[in-house]
Structure 1
Amino acid sequence: MAEVESFKLDHTRVRAPYVRLAGRVLTPRGDVVEKYDLRLAQPNREALPTASLHTLEHLLASLLRDHLDGVIDLSPMGCRTGFYLTVLGPLSPERVLEAWEKALQGVLRAEEVPGASEKECGNYRDHDLEGAKAWARKALEEGLKVQESVYL
């Protein structure tokens, strides 16, 4: 089986909330594609409830694009501790951190969840705006930082 970068990360040594450059690929055309680990919850100590994670996904998918050019995708982590952000780069972790901080501030101002109707979402009943705001507030209060990769 192919190696997966996140399976080599020492999850006991990282400290959430953080931004971490998790990978960089140079395409045959010469484009740089980067994957960032946007971690909200401390691995193996806490996890976001699915409804809060789902709402954050909907909000951050738009808000990150408002503050960062080249966003390809934002995907929730299966462990429910954060998101993977894929971008056309090169960017820097500091630039991504700045955009993520602004996006989380936007979550706090949100009054509704975009794309949360039956026609727009595959699980439209599973949202929690107040829970999403609580996780955004927690991350902002604890202070976002750039985390270096710490491998096993």
Structure 2
Amino acid sequence: MAEVESFTLDHTKVKAPYVRLIAEEHGKKGDVIANYDLRFLQPNEKEMPTGTIHTLEHLLADLMRDRLDGIIDISPFGCRTGFHLITWGVPSATEVAKALTEVLTIVVNDIQFKDIQGVSEKECGNYRDHSLFGAKEYAKLVIEQGISDNAFERNVVK
């Protein structure tokens, strides 16, 4: 079986919220993709409700692309404590943390339900399971704690 980096991470040692580069992969033609851990909550202590993480997924997919070049995908962890961010190229964890902080601030202060893309039955595979209220509450929590660019030591990015 292949070794999956996320399953080798000692989840008892990390200090959320943080941004962590999980891996970078180099293609045969010189292309580079990176996989990041955007951890909102301390593993095994809290998890986001599905409606909350679903709404945040839609908002991050939209708003992060306006602030960070080369985004391929943003998708939630099954454990519901954060997200994978896949990019072309390798922006620094600091750059990603700054973009994420800006986006979460917009979610808290500016977003209304009408602003969320892809939440109709036609556009979403589970359109009934969204919570903007929850998304705002968890975004506030992350902003209040600050996002670190180091998973193991708190180094909050300003």
TM range (shorter): over 0.9
Render the CA deviation track for 1:87-140: whole Å, top value 9, x for unaligned.
Answer: 011211111111111111121121012210000000000000010000000000
Q: Aligned residue for 1:77?
A: 77
Q: Aligned residue for 2:28?
A: 28
Residues 70, 56 of structure 1: alpha-carbon distance in 2 compared, 3 angstrom cutoff: same
Alpha-carbon deviation of 1:58? 0.4
TM-score by length of 2: 0.92
Q: Aligned residue for 1:4?
A: 4
Contact 1:101 1:140 in 2 (8 A): yes
1:99 is paired with a residue whose SS is helix
Question: Distance in 2 between the 1:30 and 1:8 partners?
Answer: 27
Question: Distance in 1 between the 2:5 and 2:76 partners?
Answer: 16
- Unmatched runs of 5 consecutive residues or more in structure 2: 154-158
TM superposition outliers: structure 1 runs of 4+ over 3 Å: none
Aligned residues: 150
Q: Aligned residue for 2:146?
A: 143
Question: Distance in 1 between the 2:90 and 2:144 partners?
Answer: 28
1:114 is paired with a residue whose SS is coil
Is 2:99 aligned against 1:99?
Answer: yes
Cα RMSD of the aligned pairs, angstroms, is 1.2
Question: Distance in 2 between the 1:126 and 1:90 partners?
Answer: 33
Question: Distance in 2 between the 1:79 and 1:148 partners?
Answer: 17
1:65 is paired with a residue whose SS is helix
Question: Distance in 2 between the 1:100 and 1:42 partners?
Answer: 17
TM-score by length of 1: 0.95
Work out which of the residue numbers 103, 120, 123 in structure 1 matches 2:126: 123
Contact 1:22 1:149 in 2 (8 A): no
Q: Aligned residue for 1:65?
A: 65
Question: Distance in 1 between the 2:112 and 2:81 partners?
Answer: 24
Alpha-carbon deviation of 1:147? 2.0
Q: Aligned residue for 1:86?
A: 86
- Unmatched runs of 5 consecutive residues or more in structure 1: none
